[in-house]
Structure 1
Amino acid sequence: MSDTPATTSGSVPRTLGRVALGAFLLAAGISHLTWARGEFLAQVPDWVPLDGDTVVIASGLVEIGLGGALIGLPGKRVAVGWLTAAFFVAIFPGNISQYVTHTDAFGLTTDRARAVRLLFQPLLVLWALWATGAWRDRPRRG
């Protein structure tokens, strides 16, 4: 049985990791639009040139889309993996802003707690790349 990116979703642990990450993103996206909207709004940096609520809604919709794609599009897992990793990189400035501005949100009420959270963002990037096999199955030149 071949494990080519176009035809399979990868190993059982990677598949479970991909589905778990998808479920996590679906829940996070829904929370952007409902019960945690204010918490996410607190993370939008002042320098973002858009209305904070618009940013929260848009990022929530992106999370829902990525979560659904991680679960429902295993044949596109490599592309979705790269998009998910890029999304985690793109939202990192919000986490940095929360730390730098000493903003309380999500129970992070100390600079230490906010700093520890910063360490988890690279882990999310790695999770997306590993669970989808995106790094392993990336297109190579030559």
Structure 2
Amino acid sequence: MSTESRGSVPRTVGRVILGLFLIFAGVSHLSFARDEFASQVPDWVPLSKDAVVLASGVVEVSLGGALLLLRQRRVTVGWVVAAFFVAVFPGNISQYLTHSNAFGLDSDQARGIRLLFQPLLVLWALWSTGAWRAWRTRSRTRTRTHG
């Protein structure tokens, strides 16, 4: 078994777990946790908080499904999921700055620790889909052919 083959199993498991996590989060946006997610939408967003929560829920379910089903496009999906995690980061920052309690994050310390996990989600998306590896390989190839 090649190193390439062995490395793909953990990535596949990571991608599936991330996909299931996103689907669960999206469903919770659309149903039982709408109010808690609404508390994270920054006041400066020019849309209704509920519309943002519903839209982000649909996006999360879609991205989770894409992680599970679009194996031929997993690198592209990885970049899109990573970008989504970057795009929602202002909501996490807003929750910290406004001291909003949601999801059991009822202290600045807890909200601050959560901020540290968002970059890990970005890295998880890039690693589990092979997006980071594909980018590095492409960068090395360009350097060799143009350098």
Q: Using structure 2 for the length normalisation, give the TM-score.
A: 0.89
- The 1-side partners of 2:101 and 2:8 are apart by 39
Following superposition, the deviation at residue 57 of structure 1 comes to 0.4
Partner of 1:54: 51
Residue by residue over 1:38-65, the C-alpha shift from the partner in whole angstroms, topping out at 9 and shown as x without a partner, is 0000000000011100000000000000
Partner of 1:110: 107
Task: Supply the AA of the counterpart residue of 1:22.
Answer: G
Question: What RMSD over aligned residues (CA atoms) do the two structures have, in Å?
Answer: 1.9
| Aligned counterpart for 2:97 among listed residues 96, 100, 104 | 100
| 2:56 pairs with 1:65 | no
Partner of 2:31: 34
Following superposition, the deviation at residue 128 of structure 1 comes to 0.2
Between the two proteins, the alignment pairs up a number of residues equal to 138
- The 1-side partners of 2:59 and 2:131 are apart by 19
* Corresponding residue SS for 1:45: coil
What's the % identity of the aligned pairs?
69
Partner of 1:129: 126
- The 2-side partners of 1:36 and 1:99 are apart by 18
Following superposition, the deviation at residue 131 of structure 1 comes to 0.2
Task: Supply the AA of the counterpart residue of 1:14.
Answer: R
Partner of 2:78: 81
Select the structure of larger CA radius of gyration: 2
* Alignment gaps of 5+ in structure 2: none
Partner of 2:116: 119
- The 1-side partners of 2:9 and 2:16 are apart by 10
Task: Supply the AA of the counterpart residue of 2:102.
Answer: A
| Aligned counterpart for 1:19 among listed residues 12, 16, 23 | 16
Higher relative contact order (CA 8 A, sep 6+): 1
- The 1-side partners of 2:69 and 2:133 are apart by 21
**More helix per residue: 1 or 2?**
2
Following superposition, the deviation at residue 127 of structure 1 comes to 0.2
- The 2-side partners of 1:74 and 1:23 are apart by 15
Residue by residue over 1:90-137, the C-alpha shift from the partner in whole angstroms, topping out at 9 and shown as x without a partner, is 000000000000000001010100000000000000000000010111
